[in-house]
């Protein structure tokens, strides 16, 4: 810290606070089923924006924004199926009125390690996420523990910090009320929610396993690399591909 | 919003950390059910104080104090009287922490300090646990018996406003939003709620809070997650702001 | 107890203190990922004190006592754990932390922090299944500045609840049997065996105590054994007005 001036230190503190705020808002948008707003609010327009999940990645503006749009479409489908299942409670309401019915996807973010580049142009952050993911699947409403990591590269744009590369990968994805150390017991499928089995997210740009979900036979698996102090992005690693 | 001087920016950076500490102190005092400690130290004594939960909103320091300290202590004392009959080892111990350990952890914080440096606002997601080992309840004949220990899982959201009074940061408004409540570790909120509402004889939901203190603004203000309702946005994240006013507050001011 | 002294700081001093606090939080958070990675030896070398004087008084506490000195800490935290871990297949230990409360000394040389962890420890049973345990509790840390870097000096991980995933916590026995309690068994026989936190009574013992503002270090505020507050031991020693 001794190499930074008073003003630089102040800017760097404000930067890390802004990055925490950004990720907090991102998590709130997920809770509120506002996925359709996420790309415009939080993502960079860099050509190589990247969103990585356990089993694949979206690369590029069209692919990443397309994923969030698909979430929005799925939310609409879920709400419609819930309306059909519960005509007494939800019948007669418009698509807009019922939008958001069903899911409640909590992704709390803890244990942040944030490094802002000395040149102030980029930053890196790693969070642990102990998620409780309530959604509607072909078995109907169901909650899963989703425990994993948000590992993010940020880039400073004219209107503030933006997400450049985001890796959101889980260790645990287990039905709440069951042990992740035992054989999963899927809930029985229900015909009224069968249409969700037909729903498809867009194909990944890169289809590969980035992180294997925990099983009792999984080899020990490190967390994503911890951000390290760096001067400029070329000097450090990327959370992209 | 005007551009801050370097001095003001540093003041606000310090303020942001201080309100994080106020918030965390609340969490640890609440974990011991030390309501007296919390409200005597951390809170503004202003008539603008408020504390809201599903049951509604208490307004003014006096109402908040009596609802959050007096009513809460009463539950603790009643619990101790029951405990003493079946767990004599509680003799000589403060009844308050023996009621339960209610830990609302603080993560996913979005914090903004006003440009004028006189207030700060924060929203939080609070994955929490509420547990107690020694528990006792009277049966229908009034005979007290030992009950199972418990650990509830309670995930909430908080919207908090703070003010700077004589250089010290104090709580002004707290709005608690219970979202997920269940038991460790056999609850599946979505599936359980779906089963409950499709049951021909649906049972009651677990209550999201203890008690029903006197309030000024009646509830319900924020109810736990229901598969039949869109998520509520009761405590939207704070945006950068100039000063605490009705456009930037978790409790509208009454004038 | 060191009295709270209200110092005043220049803008430059204040932003350096603010930065220090952020660095301290980052250090505690880094440890979360070191634990996940099973980098315990690296944790001791990267994140803990290196000055021999601090190493001699470094401590690692849990509900059943303290290991004191880096050699003793290493014996438990690295060597014993490595033997328990084996090849690491099927093991997953995750202790994320939250609710940080950090107090930086007025003189800027030490700091104290308290966090809460809702974590889990999962170990293979050897039959294709694993035992997955939720573990919740406070994590209290003393920090000291060595040169430009903050280092961990004393830690207390005070367990509140242990519950097997997918089972009913309320069906477990009320009382803690330290002979079988998985946290106590894992901790082994520390340098100073003692009950530091008796979770039977929730947070009645208030240990580890949340940090309060202080000006300069004194051993009586330490999260090491030298700072263990006598009055929390048992209520007979409470004194006038004690326990309330």
What domains are there in chain C, each with its CATH number? 11-224 (3.10.450.50)
Interface test mutation site (partner C, options B93, B127, B155, B160, max chain C beta carbons within 10 A): B93
β-pair type (C130-146, C149-164): antiparallel
pLDDT of residue A39: 98
**B189 pLDDT above the threshold of 80:** yes
Cβ–Cβ below 8 Å for A13 and C131: no
What mean pLDDT, rounded, does chain B reach? Answer: 95
What chain A holds in terms of domains, given with CATH numbers, is 6-235 (3.10.450.50)
A130 contacts chain C (CB < 8 A) = yes
Closest among C172, C242, C237, C202 to B76, alpha carbons compared: C202
Q: Which of C18, C29, C89 has the CB atom closest to A219's CB atom?
A: C89
B152 contacts chain C (CB < 8 A) = no
Identify whether the C-beta of residue C76 lies closer than 8 Å to the C-beta of residue C184: no
Closest among A119, A161, A153, A168 to A49, alpha carbons compared: A153
pLDDT of residue A222: 98
**C2 pLDDT above the threshold of 50:** no
Of the given ranges (A226-235, B43-52, B202-211), which has the lowest mean pLDDT? Answer: B202-211
Q: Compute how many other C-beta atoms are within 10 angstroms of the C-beta atom of residue C76.
A: 19
A52-97 confidence digits (pLDDT tens): 999 999 999 999 999 999 999 999 999 999 999 999 999 999 999 9
C112-132 confidence digits (pLDDT tens): 999 999 999 999 999 999 999
pLDDT of residue C232: 54
DSSP chain C: -PPP------HHHHHHHHHHHHHHHHHHHHHHHHHHTT-HHHHHHHTB--SHHHHHH-EEEETTEEEESHHHHHIIIIIIHHHHHTT-TT-EEE---EEEEEEE-TTSSEEEEEEEEEEEEEEE-SSS-EEEEEEEEEEEEEEEEETTEEEEEEEEEEEEEEEETTS-GGGS-SS--TTT-HHHHHH-S-SEE--S--GGGTTTT--SPPP---SS--GGG-SSGGG--GGGS-GGG--TTTT-
Output the CA torsion A9→A11→A12→A14 (10° steps). Answer: 120
C-alpha of A218 from chain center: 23
Q: Rounded to an integer, what distance in angstroms lies between the CA atom of residue C170 and that of residue B147? A: 9
A141 contacts chain B (CB < 8 A) = yes
- The Cα of A207 is separated from the nearest Cα of chain B by a number of Å equal to 30
What mean pLDDT, rounded, does chain A reach? Answer: 97
ipTM over 0.90: yes
Closest among A3, A22, A50 to A231, alpha carbons compared: A3
Identify whether the C-beta of residue A134 lies closer than 8 Å to the C-beta of residue A184: no
Closest among A147, A165, A72 to A106, alpha carbons compared: A147
Interface test mutation site (partner A, options C27, C29, C118, C168, max chain A beta carbons within 10 A): C29
- The Cα of A63 is separated from the nearest Cα of chain B by a number of Å equal to 27
Identify whether the C-beta of residue A195 lies closer than 8 Å to the C-beta of residue A82: no
Interface test mutation site (partner B, options C199, C203, C211, C240, max chain B beta carbons within 10 A): C203
Q: How confident is the model at residue A140 (pLDDT cuts 50, 70, 90)?
A: very high
Cβ–Cβ below 8 Å for B127 and A108: yes
Q: Which of residues 28-57 of B touch C (CB under 8 A)?
A: 28-29, 31-32
Nearest CA in chain B to C211: B25
Cβ–Cβ below 8 Å for B107 and A110: yes
Cβ–Cβ below 8 Å for B134 and C201: yes
Q: Rounded to an integer, what distance in angstroms lies between the CA atom of residue C32 and that of residue C6? A: 33
pLDDT of residue A71: 98
Interface test mutation site (partner C, options B101, B104, B136, B155, max chain C beta carbons within 10 A): B101
Which of B109 and C239 is assigned the larger pLDDT?
B109
User: SS3 of B62, please?
Assistant: helix
Contacts of B187 (CB under 8 A, 6+ apart): A176, A177, B153
- Taken as a whole, chain B contains a residue count of 255
The secondary structure element, H or E, covering residue B157 is strand B150-165
A-chain residues near B113 (CB < 8 A): none
A15-38 confidence digits (pLDDT tens): 999 999 999 999 999 999 999 999
Cβ–Cβ below 8 Å for B180 and A106: yes
Q: Rounded to an integer, what distance in angstroms lies between the CA atom of residue A23 and that of residue A30? A: 11
Cβ–Cβ below 8 Å for B188 and A100: no
pLDDT of residue C1: 43
The pLDDT of B178-204, averaged and rounded, is 92
pLDDT of residue B254: 83
pLDDT of residue B255: 64
A60 contacts chain B (CB < 8 A) = no
Q: Rounded to an integer, what distance in angstroms lies between the CA atom of residue A108 and that of residue B156? A: 11
Domain ranges of chain B: 6-218
Cβ–Cβ below 8 Å for C171 and B106: no
The pLDDT of B120-135, averaged and rounded, is 97
Nearest CA in chain B to A22: B110
For domain B6-218, give the fold. Nuclear Transport Factor 2; Chain: A, (3.10.450)
Provide the number of CB pairs (under 8 Å) joining chain A to chain B: 125
Tokens of C86: 């084996």
Q: Rounded to an integer, what distance in angstroms lies between the CA atom of residue C61 and that of residue C57? A: 12
C102 contacts chain A (CB < 8 A) = no
DSSP B179-235: EEEEETTT--HHHHHHHHHHSSS--PPPPSSS-----SEES-------TTSPPP-SS
Q: Quick one: CA dihedral B252, B233, A113, C40, positive or negative?
A: positive
Contacts of A179 (CB under 8 A, 6+ apart): C130, C132, C164, C165, C166, C167
Identify whether the C-beta of residue A91 lies closer than 8 Å to the C-beta of residue A83: yes
Q: Which residues pair with B43 in a beta bridge?
A: B171
Q: How confident is the model at residue A1 (pLDDT cuts 50, 70, 90)?
A: low
- The Cα of C20 is separated from the nearest Cα of chain A by a number of Å equal to 9
């Amino acid at each position: 810290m001794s190499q930074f001036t008073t003003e630089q230190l102040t800017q760097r503190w404000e930067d890390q606070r802004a990055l925490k705020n950004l990720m907090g808002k991102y998590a709130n948008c997920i809770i509120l089923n506002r996925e359709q707003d996420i790309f415009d609010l939080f993502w960079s327009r860099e050509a190589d924006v990247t969103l990585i999940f356990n089993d694949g990645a979206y690369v590029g503006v069209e692919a990443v924004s397309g994923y969030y749009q698909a979430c929005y479409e799925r939310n609409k489908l879920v709400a419609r199926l819930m309306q059909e299942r519960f005509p007494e409670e939800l019948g007669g309401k418009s698509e807009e009125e019922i939008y958001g019915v069903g899911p409640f996807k909590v992704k709390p973010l803890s244990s942040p390690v944030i490094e802002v580049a000395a040149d102030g142009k980029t930053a890196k952050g790693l969070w642990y996420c102990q998620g409780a993911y309530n959604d509607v699947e072909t078995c109907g409403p169901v909650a899963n523990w989703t425990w994993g990591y948000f590992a993010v590269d940020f880039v400073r744009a004219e209107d503030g910090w933006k997400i450049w590369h985001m890796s959101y990968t889980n260790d645990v994805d287990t039905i709440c009320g069951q042990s992740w150390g035992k054989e999963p017991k899927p809930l029985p499928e229900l015909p009224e929610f069968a249409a969700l089995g037909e729903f498809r997210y867009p194909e990944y740009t890169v289809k590969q396993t980035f992180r294997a979900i925990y099983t009792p036979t999984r080899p020990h698996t490190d967390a994503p690399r911890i951000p390290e102090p760096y001067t400029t992005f070329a000097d450090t690693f990327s959370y992209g591909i | 919003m005007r551009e801050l001087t370097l001095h003001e920016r540093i003041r606000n950076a310090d303020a942001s950390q201080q309100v994080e500490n106020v918030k965390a102190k609340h969490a640890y005092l609440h974990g011991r059910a030390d309501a007296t400690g919390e409200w005597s130290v951390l809170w503004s004594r202003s008539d603008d104080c408020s504390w809201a939960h599903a049951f509604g909103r208490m307004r003014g320091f006096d109402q908040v104090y009596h609802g959050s300290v007096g009513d809460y202590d009463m539950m603790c004392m009643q619990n101790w009287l029951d405990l003493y009959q079946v767990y004599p080892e509680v003799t000589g111990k403060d009844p308050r922490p023996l009621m339960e350990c209610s830990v609302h952890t603080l993560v996913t914080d979005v914090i903004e300090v006003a440009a004028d440096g006189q207030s700060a606002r924060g929203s939080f997601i609070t994955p929490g646990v509420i547990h107690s080992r020694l528990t006792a309840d009277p049966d229908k004949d009034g005979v007290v018996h030992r009950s199972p220990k418990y650990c509830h899982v309670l995930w909430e959201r908080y919207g908090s406003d703070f003010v700077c009074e004589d250089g010290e940061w104090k709580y002004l408004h707290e709005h608690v939003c219970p979202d997920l409540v269940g038991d460790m570790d056999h609850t599946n909120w979505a599936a359980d709620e779906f089963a409950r509402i499709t049951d021909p004889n649906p049972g009651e939901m677990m209550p999201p809070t203890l008690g029903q203190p006197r309030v000024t603004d009646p509830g319900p203000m924020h109810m736990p997650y229901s598969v039949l309702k869109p998520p509520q946005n009761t405590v939207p994240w704070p945006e950068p702001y100039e000063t605490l006013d009705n456009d930037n507050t978790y409790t509208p001011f009454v004038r | 107890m060191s009295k709270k002294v209200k110092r005043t700081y220049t803008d430059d001093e204040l932003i350096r203190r603010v930065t220090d606090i952020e660095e301290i939080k980052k250090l505690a958070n880094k440890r979360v990922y070191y634990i996940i990675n099973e980098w315990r030896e690296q944790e001791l070398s990267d994140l803990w004190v290196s000055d021999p004087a601090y190493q001699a008084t470094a401590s690692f506490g849990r509900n059943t006592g303290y290991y004191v000195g880096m050699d003793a800490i290493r014996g438990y935290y690295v060597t014993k754990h490595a033997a328990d871990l084996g090849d690491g297949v099927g093991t997953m230990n995750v202790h994320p932390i939250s609710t940080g409360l950090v107090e930086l000394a007025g003189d800027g040389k030490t700091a104290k922090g308290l966090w809460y962890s809702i974590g889990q420890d999962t170990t293979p049973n050897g039959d294709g299944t694993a035992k997955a345990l939720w573990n919740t509790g406070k994590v209290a840390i003393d920090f000291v500045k060595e040169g430009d870097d903050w280092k961990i000096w004393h830690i207390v991980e005070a367990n509140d609840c242990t519950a097997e995933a997918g089972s009913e916590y309320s069906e477990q026995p009320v009382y803690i049997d330290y002979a079988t309690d998985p946290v106590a068994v894992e901790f082994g026989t520390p340098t100073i065996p003692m009950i530091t936190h008796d979770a039977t009574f929730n947070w009645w013992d208030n240990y580890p105590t949340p940090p309060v503002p202080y000006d300069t270090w004194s051993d009586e505020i330490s999260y090491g054994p030298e700072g263990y507050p006598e009055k929390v031991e048992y209520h007979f020693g409470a004194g006038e007005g004690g326990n309330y």
